[in-house]
Amino acid sequence: MDKKKILFIIGSLNQTTQMHQVAKMLPDYDCFFSQLYSNNLLIKLAIKFGLLNSTVLSGTFKNAADTYLANNNLPNDYATKQFKNDYSMVVLCSDMLIPRQLSKLKTIWIQEGMTDLITPWGKIVHNFQLPYMLAFNTAFNGCSNICDIFCAASTGYKKQFSKLGTAAEKIFVTGIPNYDNISSFLQNDFPYHDFVVVATSDTRETGKIDDRKKFIYNCVQIANGRQLIFKLHPNEKKDRAIAEIKKLTPADTLIFTEGNINHMIANCSELITQYSTVVYTGIALGKKVHSYFDIEKLKGLSPIQNNGSSATSIASICRNYVEYKGELKDFLQMQHRSKQFSQQLQTN
């Protein structure tokens, strides 16, 4: 008997590795992967002419994700055109752009990490109930109420998504892979210790304003004589960023374009970020952290730590739902009761 087929929609490399972790927990199903895509003619034309190369729809992000799929021998069914499969479920990294044929399937959304700040334009998009993709950032990822089930990083994020539009009963606090076992990063072979690490963001590359000169000056002031280590975002224009940092920082400043940022954070004495989700690594490890976001709010949003069991929890929901024959509302009630029972057993 043929296995049921599940399609995982990927995006950035972080989203792709998270989806892979969930798929690994579903060996009893045939799992396929596709970069986020659209059948909208205008979006397809924009991709063709390189206008969306700074997004996960094309360019560096798509190339990195496709390379990961190839290196891990994962079937790439881009835009469902390669294998002509009949899918029983789609697992999504974004609910702001869902092709029509996928919205007809059972849908589960998985949070990747931090969502962007809501801009003044984003408030207009929200207040006038315009398509959330028109906000031009991830501020409303997880807030559409379109998917059947939403898997959130924390209770704080569940409250945020619910406040912005997603029904609370659809949201399950599962934690998220890559950010659910932060203490494991303490065991690493990164050779430096007791430095100030700076995790930059691809703000300029994604069309936002970034006073990089002011930011670098601020990093130097925070370091106050301690060694600085910069880890560049993978999507940044590296030559430009490196030249700026070398010009404005002490001679012993180190700049990394590759390497495990989580290991760097584990060994640092202080963490400086802009908009990066890795601020949660610093918070979980008790580091002093800096961010363009409000730190106290971030502490309330921090992903739950469950010793790396998020992928298993999410896969369990996927398995239960893909096999369920009844109505969504009944499944949600059953799933919440099951989770409450499990929590009671753990408490006792």
**219 burial via Cβ count (<10 Å: 0-12, 13-18, 19+):** buried
Same domain, 171 and 190: no
Is 107 inside a domain boundary?
yes
Q: What is the average per-residue pLDDT within 317-333? A: 96
pLDDT digits (tens, 9 = 90+) for 18-58: 999 999 999 999 999 999 999 889 888 988 888 888 888 99
Per DSSP (E only), the strands in 141-287 are 149-152, 171-173, 196-199, 228-231, 254-256, 270-273
Its sign, for the CA torsion 1, 23, 71, 75, is: positive
| Residues 201 and 167 reside in one and the same domain | no
Examine the pLDDT at 156 and tell me if it is beyond 70: yes
Q: Quote the radius of gyration of the chain (alpha carbons, Å).
A: 21
Q: What mean pLDDT comes out for the span 244-253? A: 97
In a domain, 250, yes or no: yes
The number of folded domains in the chain is: 2
In a domain, 297, yes or no: no
Tell me what percent of the residues of the chain surpass a pLDDT of 90: 83
Q: Examine the fold and report which residue of 248, 266, 290 is the final residue of a domain before the chain moves on.
A: 290
pLDDT band at 348 (very low <50, low <70, confident <90, very high): very low
| 280 and 329, same domain (yes or no) | no
Sheet holding 196-199, edge to edge: 254-256, 228-231, 196-199, 270-273, 288-290
Query: Are 59 and 158 found together in one domain?
Result: yes
Which neighbouring-strand residues pair with 6?
31, 89
For residue 160, pLDDT over 90 is answered with yes
Q: What is the mean pLDDT of the chain?
A: 94
Q: Residues 10, 34: one domain?
A: yes
Structural domain boundaries enclosing 208: 182-290
Over residues 223-240, mean pLDDT:
95
- Residue 337 belongs to a domain with what CATH number? 3.40.50
Residues 162, 217, single domain; the answer is no
Asked whether residue 296 is assigned to any structural domain, the reply reads no
pLDDT attached to residue 66 = 96
> What pLDDT, on the 0 to 100 scale, is given for residue 342?
63
Whether residues 9 and 158 share a domain: the answer is yes
Give the closest residue to 261 by CA, choosing from 240, 282, 245, 235.
282
User: Once rounded to an integer, what is the mean pLDDT over residues 137-145?
Assistant: 94
Contacts of 121 (CB under 8 A, 6+ apart): 135, 136
End-to-end CA distance of the chain: 41
DSSP state of 291: -
Cα–Cα–Cα angle for 148, 132, 86, rounded to 5 degrees? 40
For residue 300, being part of any structural domain is answered with no
> Are residues 79 and 164 located together in one domain of the fold?
yes
335 and 199 together in one domain: no
* CATH number of 248's domain: 3.40.50.2000
Give the residues across from 31 on adjacent strands: 6
> Where does the pLDDT of residue 346 fall: very low under 50, low under 70, confident under 90, or very high at 90 and above?
low
Task: State pLDDT tens for residues 97-130.
Answer: 999 999 999 999 999 999 998 999 999 999 998 8
Is residue 251 domain-shared with residue 126, that is, in the same domain? no
- Reported confidence tier of residue 343, pLDDT bands at 50, 70, 90: low
- The answer on 312 and 271 residing in a single domain is no
The mean pLDDT of 66-71, rounded to a whole number, is: 97
Q: Is residue 295 part of a domain?
A: no
Residues 249 and 136 in one domain: no
Q: pTM for the whole thing? A: 0.92
